[in-house]
């Protein structure tokens, strides 16, 4: 398997390029529009054919590169079935699997950060979008976010995965690249709660400012970034 973790410095977004070494088919998770040329260069350098591009959810802090990649490579766009974006080619249900050559990627519906948030599991790699971050969790104060749903997605779904599952989040603001489910269970301060009510209280007291350009980003992402 080929794997590259790419970083967008402006939005601190992680983008993942995954490919089967055999059939040369590739998948990109959470591309950023401004970096599409860089992704295309990676694909060329590794002699890969991009077949699918996944957005874990409708992002508020950057514009997805999905449409631009589709125009460039003719790949299919993929999101969970709860996505409000109308132009998605493949809409996955909870627990549904897609394949890239012999690699299997399973969609897990993990609402809370937004109502359309999915995580993706490939073997023991978990791409959690903004549902679970390293030492943090996704905010729940816009785009139909719900702290109660987030608690359920975290405690009844992602944290039930084997402790050695490697966590690859959608963002990191402190230079961390990966973690494990076991580490997050033990050390993530947001997860050291005894009840859903306690989690809701923590999330309602965060007092975060709105992301810059949220309205433009969301409206463009509802069309997967096409202009
Ligand atoms: Fe997000």
Q: pLDDT tens across 17-47, in order?
A: 999 888 899 999 999 999 999 999 999 999 9
Distance 109 CA to ligand 1 centre (A): 14
Distance 22 CA to ligand 1 centre (A): 33
Distance between CA atoms of 167 and 158, rounded to whole angstroms? 10
**Residue 16 contacts residue 30 (beta carbons within 8 Å):** yes
Alpha helices in 35-146 (DSSP H): 36-45, 66-73
Torsion of CA 187, 32, 141, 93, to 10 degrees: -80
Ion ligand 1: protein residues whose beta carbon lies under 5 Å = 130
Distance 214 CA to ligand 1 centre (A): 10
Domain count for the chain: 1
Distance 143 CA to ligand 1 centre (A): 9
- Under DSSP, the state recorded for 32 is B
3-state secondary structure of 157: coil
218 in a structural domain: no
**E strands present in 123-160:** 125-127, 132-133, 136-137
Range of the domain at 18: 2-209
Distance 23 CA to ligand 1 centre (A): 32
220 in a structural domain: no
Would you state the pLDDT for residue 15? 98
Tokens (6 digits) for 47: 């002699």
By DSSP bridging, strand 49-54 and strand 25-29 are parallel
Q: Span 180-198, mean pLDDT?
A: 98
Tokens (6 digits) for 2: 């080929």
**Residue 168 contacts residue 16 (beta carbons within 8 Å):** yes
Assess whether pLDDT exceeds 90 at residue 221: yes
Distance between CA atoms of 16 and 160, rounded to whole angstroms? 23
214 in a structural domain: no
216 in a structural domain: no
Band of pLDDT at residue 51, cut at 50, 70 and 90: very high
**Residue 18 contacts residue 103 (beta carbons within 8 Å):** yes
pTM score above 0.75: yes
226 in a structural domain: no
Q: Give which of 113, 135, 134, 5 is closest to 59, Cα–Cα.
A: 113
Would you state the pLDDT for residue 83? 97
- Which CATH number belongs to the domain containing residue 203 in this structure? 3.60.15.10
Would you state the pLDDT for residue 22? 81
194 in a structural domain: yes
136 in a structural domain: yes
The model's pLDDT over 125-170, given as tens digits with 9 standing for 90+, comes to: 999 999 999 999 999 999 999 999 999 999 999 999 999 999 999 9
Band of pLDDT at residue 68, cut at 50, 70 and 90: very high
Assess whether pLDDT exceeds 90 at residue 227: no
The model's pLDDT over 75-123, given as tens digits with 9 standing for 90+, comes to: 999 999 999 998 999 999 999 999 999 899 999 999 999 999 999 999 9
Distance 129 CA to ligand 1 centre (A): 7
């Amino acid at each position: 398997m080929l794997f590259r973790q790419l970083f967008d410095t402006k939005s601190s977004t992680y983008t993942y390029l995954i490919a089967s070494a055999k059939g040369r088919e590739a998948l990109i998770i959470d591309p950023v529009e401004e970096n599409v040329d860089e992704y295309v260069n990676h694909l060329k350098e590794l002699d890969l054919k991009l077949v699918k591009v996944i957005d874990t959810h409708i992002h508020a802090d950057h514009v997805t590169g999905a449409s631009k990649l589709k125009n460039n490579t003719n790949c299919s766009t993929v999101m969970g079935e709860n996505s409000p974006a109308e132009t998605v080619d493949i809409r996955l249900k909870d627990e549904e699997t897609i394949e890239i050559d012999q690699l299997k990627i399973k969609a897990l519906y993990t609402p809370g950060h937004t109502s359309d948030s999915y995580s993706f599991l490939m073997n023991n790699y978990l791409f959690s979008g903004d549902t679970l971050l390293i030492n943090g969790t996704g905010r729940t104060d816009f785009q139909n976010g719900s702290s109660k749903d987030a608690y359920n997605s975290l405690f009844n779904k992602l944290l039930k995965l084997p402790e050695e599952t490697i966590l690859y989040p959608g963002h990191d603001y402190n230079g961390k690249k990966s973690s494990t489910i076991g580490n997050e269970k033990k050390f993530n301060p947001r997860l050291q709660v005894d009840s859903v009510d306690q989690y809701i209280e923590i999330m309602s007291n965060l007092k975060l400012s709105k992301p810059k350009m949220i309205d433009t980003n969301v409206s463009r992402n509802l069309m997967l970034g096409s202009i």
